[in-house]
Structure 1
Amino acid sequence: MNCMLNRLFPRRKPAPKPLPQPNAQLALGALLVRVAFADQNYRAAEVGQIDRILSRTFGLKPLDAAKLRATCEALERDAPGTPEFTRIMREEVAYADRKALGDAMWSVALADGARDDQEEIQLMAIEMALGLTDEDMAAARENALKRL
C-alpha cells in the first residue's frame, strides 16, 4: 500500500537553499577552495588547511570553520567567477590582509606536499587580480616552498 502511494504521490525534493551573497569572508573561503580544486584533486590535507585558515582568520571553532568551508565550496561551485570574488576582496579587505591571503592560498596549494602547475597558475592569477605586487607574490611563494 505504501509503495503504491509513493508511486502515485512521489515526494518532491526540497528546493536547494539559495546561496548567500558573497562577502569578504565567503569570497576568501571560495578563493581558497578554488585554488585547492585547480588540480582536480581536492584532498583531505587541503580541506584541513582551509579549515585551519578560516578558523584562525575569523576566530571560529573547528566545526564552524568546517561549516563555513562547506558554504564556500557550494559558492565556489555555483557562484560567479574569480573576478567577482577578487573584486569583493579588493573593495572590502586591506592590502595587508590580501597579502596574507596570498600566503594562505600557497599553504593550501602545497598542503598535499606536491606542486601542481594548474594550482600555481590559478593561484598566481588570483594574486594578480587581488592587486598584489610581484614582490609580495614572490615572497608568498618562497615562504610556502620553504615549508614544503
Structure 2
Amino acid sequence: MLAKVKQFFNQVQGNEMQQTQLDNKLAATALLIEVSRADDDRSHAEQEAIFQLLKKHFELSDDEVRELITTANQTSDDATSLYQFTSTIKKNASREQRVKLIHALWVVAYADGEVDPQEEATIRKVADLLYVSHSDYIQAKLQAE
C-alpha cells in the first residue's frame, strides 16, 4: 500500500515537472515572438531565428517547434502584458537561464540586421521583469551582436 502511495506522488510530481517545463517553453517562445512583433515587422530572418533557437535550446523536432510557435502565437495574442510570461520564467528558471533568454531575445532582435527601439524597449522590460541585472543585460546584448 505504501509503495502505491509513493508511486502516485512520484507520478504527480513528474507530471508537475513536465507541466513546468512546458510552461517555461511556452513562456519563452511567447517572449521571443513579442520581440519579433515589437517593431511591427515580423521579418523572415526573425522568424527563422526563433525557430532555430527553439530547436537548438529545447532539442525539439521541426514539427514540435512549429506546434510550440503556433501555441505561443495564440497565447501571445490573448495576453494583456508580458508579466504572465515573465512570472512563469522568473519562478522556474535560474539566473543563468534568465540571462540566456535575454541573449536569445537579442539574437531575434538582431536577426534582420537592425534593432528597432521598440525591440530594445521590449527586451529591457523583459530583463527588468526577470530581475536580470543591467550588466548581464548589456553582456547578453554584446554577445548577440
Normalising by the smaller structure, the TM-score range is: 0.7 to 0.9
Structure with greater helix percent: 2
Identity among equivalent positions (%) equals: 30
The offset of 1:84, in angstroms, is 1.3
Q: What is the RMSD computed on CA atoms of the aligned residues?
A: 1.2
**For 1:54, what is the secondary structure of its paired residue?**
helix
Corresponding residue of 1:26: 26
Question: How many angstroms apart in 1 are the aligned matches of 2:45 and 2:63?
Answer: 16
The offset of 1:80, in angstroms, is 4.0
Question: How many angstroms apart in 1 are the aligned matches of 2:80 and 2:121?
Answer: 19
The amino acid that maps onto 1:114 is E
Matched, 1:74 2:74: yes
Q: What is the 5 A alignment of 1:9-88? A: 23-88=23-88
Native 8 Å contact 1:35 1:122 kept in 2: yes
Structure 1 runs (4+) deviating above 3 angstroms are none
The offset of 1:74, in angstroms, is 1.0
Corresponding residue of 2:140: 140
Corresponding residue of 1:105: 105
Aligned positions, number = 124
Corresponding residue of 1:15: none
The amino acid that maps onto 1:28 is A
TM norm structure 1: 0.80
Question: How many angstroms apart in 1 are the aligned matches of 2:28 and 2:67?
Answer: 14
Question: How many angstroms apart in 2 are the aligned matches of 1:64 and 1:27?
Answer: 15
**For 1:113, what is the secondary structure of its paired residue?**
coil
Native 8 Å contact 1:52 1:62 kept in 2: no
The amino acid that maps onto 1:83 is Y
Native 8 Å contact 1:46 1:109 kept in 2: yes
The amino acid that maps onto 1:103 is H
Structure 2 alignment gaps of length 5 or more: 1-21
TM norm structure 2: 0.81
Corresponding residue of 1:128: 128
Question: How many angstroms apart in 1 are the aligned matches of 2:31 and 2:51?
Answer: 13
Question: How many angstroms apart in 2 are the aligned matches of 1:100 and 1:82?
Answer: 18
Greater CA deviation, 32-41 or 50-59?
50-59
Question: How many angstroms apart in 2 are the aligned matches of 1:84 and 1:57?
Answer: 21
The amino acid that maps onto 1:143 is Q
